[in-house]
Amino acid sequence: MRNPFRYFNSSPEVIRLTVMMYIRYPLSLRQVEDLLFERGIDICHETVRFWWNRFGPMFAAEIRKRRIYHRSYSRWRWHLDEVFVRINGEMHYLWRAVSYGADEG
């Protein structure tokens, strides 16, 4: 696969940080520009928009792929059984957590 960042003067880390800041947090393009300027990165809000349009789908696909990969390890489901019982005239709360695999239903 060819490097999608090869024609850009900025590093891939800066591009990824910029796009993720815009996507992850409820910030405007100009707010992202201001936050990056405070960190010593001087870019225009139109650059943020361009990078978001160009690299956003690629980063989203990577995130989805990681979620699917991690989800395969967490196929366990949990069920909580709880009941109040009276023992020797006193009320007691009993509970137990039961786990089972996703395919066992």
Residue 73: what pLDDT?
55
pLDDT digits 0-9 by tens, 57-86? 999 888 888 776 665 555 666 777 788 889
Q: Do the domain assignments include residue 82?
A: yes
CA max distance for the chain: 78
76 vs 32, higher pLDDT: 32
Structure tokens at 105: 């239903």
- Domain of residue 48: give its range: 12-71
77/38: higher pLDDT: 38
Question: Do both 34 and 65 map to the same domain?
Answer: yes
Evaluate if residue 8 carries a pLDDT over 80.
Answer: yes
Residue that wins the pLDDT comparison between 105 and 45: 45
Q: For the whole model, what pTM was predicted?
A: 0.61
Confidence at 94, pLDDT banded by 50, 70, 90: confident
Q: How far is CA 38 from CA 13, 17, 32, in A?
A: 17, 14, 10
Same domain for 52 and 85, yes or no, is: no
Residue 19 has pLDDT above 70, yes or no: yes
Spatial neighbors of 48 by CB under 8 A, at least 6 apart, are 18, 19, 22, 29, 32, 33
105 pLDDT above the threshold of 60 = no
Question: Are residues 22 and 32 in contact, defined by beta-carbon separation less than 8 angstroms?
Answer: yes
pLDDT score of 51? 95
Distance CA 45, CA 2 (A): 27
Whether residue 5 is contained in a domain is answered as: no
Same domain? 39 vs 52? yes
